[in-house]
Amino acid sequence: ALVHSGHAQYTKFPEGFTFGVATAAHQIEGSWNVSGKTENVWDHLSHNRPWMIADGTNGDVACDSYNRYQEDVDELAYMGVDFYRLSLSWARILPTGRMDVINPDGIRYYNALFDALAEKKIEPLVTLFHWDLPQSLQDLGGWANPKMIDYFRDYADVCFREFGDKVKSWITLNEPYEICEDAYGDDKKAPAIDSHGVGNYLCSDTLLKAHAEVYHLYNDTYRPIQNGRIMISINSIWYEPSDPENAEQVALAEVANQFKFGWFANPIFTEEGGYPVVMVENIAEQSKAEGLNKPRLEQFDEYWIERIKGTSDFLGINHYTTHLITGPGVDSLAKHPSWLKDIGAVVSLDVGRDSASEWLRVVPTGFANLLRWCKSTYNDVPIYITENGFSDRGAIEDYDRIRYYNDYLSEILNVIYDDDVKVLGYTAWTLMDNFEWRAGFSERFGLYHVDITDPNLPRTPKLSAEYYKQLCETKEIPQDERFKDPAVS
Ligand code: PNW
């Protein structure tokens, strides 16, 4: 497995390691108001506050995958992926958000998609919730409303019942941090509630309980007959000390990682369960200083600690980037009160190469450090990388993206072979350029280019699609000259 090309580098993935690519319903489907689908929070935001989307685009048509799914499947088959990670549109399946109306066209669409995948022997990995909450449920408070636990469970029940014969791998939630912090504690994602330091923690209380109920529903009722698996995908911005010799920064980076990744991983993947101790303590202290009579983050009671613990068959990790911690204090971007202020550290993005996304810095070694940390913090849990990818402005000869994949994939091999971290599979974000949330189509993560100025939305494989095809075929990181940027020696 060792190739000596200047420096030692592993290139070959272990037997059984699988590769896939990911998308999400709202980012690709379009057909936002046809065949029974109702408005979701992203439709609502992009229609009512279009200035909040960088290029004024929206998900009305997106990549038109509602009509062009066969093209998507053909591209997946061309690359030879083992699996396709996609998400279901809640408002397409349940137009009221509740289970009283089941939309036959929605059910038909996903069945057709699963059949097309089966035809090409591509396994579906299905996310129940990738941010597109029915607006009707947001009108009732969305994830800040504890009743959402029942609504999410009911929606999952319908999905398991309708699709469980074809779908054997499920993800409950995509990136709980982004849902709670960006959408309820800030205005970075829809519904942009911006209840900083309050709504974000109400959300996590509901979201973790809702996740656990869906896990137990699957585990108790569906797993015995459907024999599948179910997990959660947690995003990490990995934090490292700006100066690794500085003990205070090292300690603060650990605090930041507990606030970011641990917020949702600790309750599910540790022996003790519940939120990380440092989160509970910091927030209790700050809340008291603010004059509150109880902490803004409520710890789970014994019942819920037990109910949430162990509710994921694997740890799904979405990873893109690493940021630095430069010292203690209140970050210049921190609102009062807020999650960022609760951490009590100053963050810097002055690290690595850049991308088209302000937040995405290229720091491959941070990925290895994150994976080693997950192994030791979460008891050697088996891991799937459920997203990893790079943004540019849409180049077809996308050498920067290939270099990103090359370097991040190499770090996975390093931790598999040198540190015995159990990484079982890898998912590239994303199949094709798509509606990148508030960035619209201005930041592009696709292996395929999509020309949104042409009504036929033609898809063109980028060089990275050829790279990924070779990776899927050989299970080896491609070393071909044609994938090396001629401008970089
Ligand atoms: C993910 N970060 O979001 C989402 O799951 C995708 O829908 C999205 O298109 C993709 O990554 C690219 O943004 C993230 O700050 C948002 O580290 C923020 C971060 C990571 C992922």
State pLDDT tens for residues 151-185.
999 999 999 999 999 999 999 999 999 999 999 99
465: its two tokens: 């699609």
Average pLDDT, the chain: 97
DSSP 378: T
The protein residue with its alpha carbon nearest to ligand 1, atom 8, reads 436
Average pLDDT over residues 410-417: 98
**pLDDT tens digits for 97-109?**
999 999 999 999 9
Ligand 1 mean position, distance from CA 236 (Å): 10
Reply yes or no on whether the pLDDT at 18 is more than 60.
yes
CA-to-CA distance for 109 and 122, rounded, in angstroms? 17
Q: Which amino acid is at 434?
A: N
Whose alpha carbon is nearest atom 12 of ligand 1? 436
Q: Place 431 in a pLDDT band, splitting at 50, 70 and 90.
A: very high
Residue 456 CA to residue 30 CA, distance in Å, equals: 13
Q: What pLDDT, on the 0 to 100 scale, is given for residue 6?
A: 42
pLDDT tens digits along 324-359: 999 999 999 999 999 999 999 999 999 999 999 999
**What mean pLDDT is predicted for residues 409-432?**
98
- How far, in whole angstroms, is CA 462 from its chain's centroid? 23
> Does residue 404 carry a pLDDT above 60?
yes
Question: Residue range 1-27: average pLDDT?
Answer: 82
321 lines ligand 1 (CB under 6 A): yes
Three-state DSSP class for 400? helix
pLDDT at 336: 98
The separation between the first and the last C-alpha atoms of the chain, rounded to the nearest angstrom, is: 24
pLDDT of residue 488: 84
Ligand 1 site, residue 406, Cβ cutoff 6 A? no
User: pLDDT category, 2, cuts 50, 70, 90?
Assistant: very low
Checking if the pLDDT of 3 tops 50, the result is no
Return the H-helix or E-strand segment holding 377: helix 364-377
pLDDT at 478 over 90: yes
Characterize the bridge pairing of strands 345-348 and 315-328: antiparallel
Proportion of the chain above pLDDT 70, given as a percent: 98
pLDDT of residue 8: 56
* pLDDT tens-digit map of 211-241: 999 999 999 999 999 999 999 999 999 999 9
pLDDT in tens, 358-393: 999 999 999 999 999 999 999 999 999 999 999 999
Confirm or reject: Cβ of 237 under 6 Å from ligand 1. Answer: yes
Q: Does 175 contact ligand 1 (Cβ within 6 A)?
A: yes
Q: Measured in angstroms, how far is the CA atom of residue 5 from the centroid of ligand 1?
A: 33
Enter the ipTM: 0.94
Distance from Cα 184 to the centre of ligand 1, integer Å? 16
Classify residue 199 as left (phi > 0), alpha (psi -120 to 50) or beta: alpha
Q: What is the pLDDT of residues 57-79, one digit of tens each?
A: 999 999 999 999 999 999 999 99
Question: Which positions are catalytic?
Answer: 387
Q: Say what the pLDDT of residue 31 is.
A: 98
Determine if the peptide bond prior to 430 is cis (ω within 30°): yes
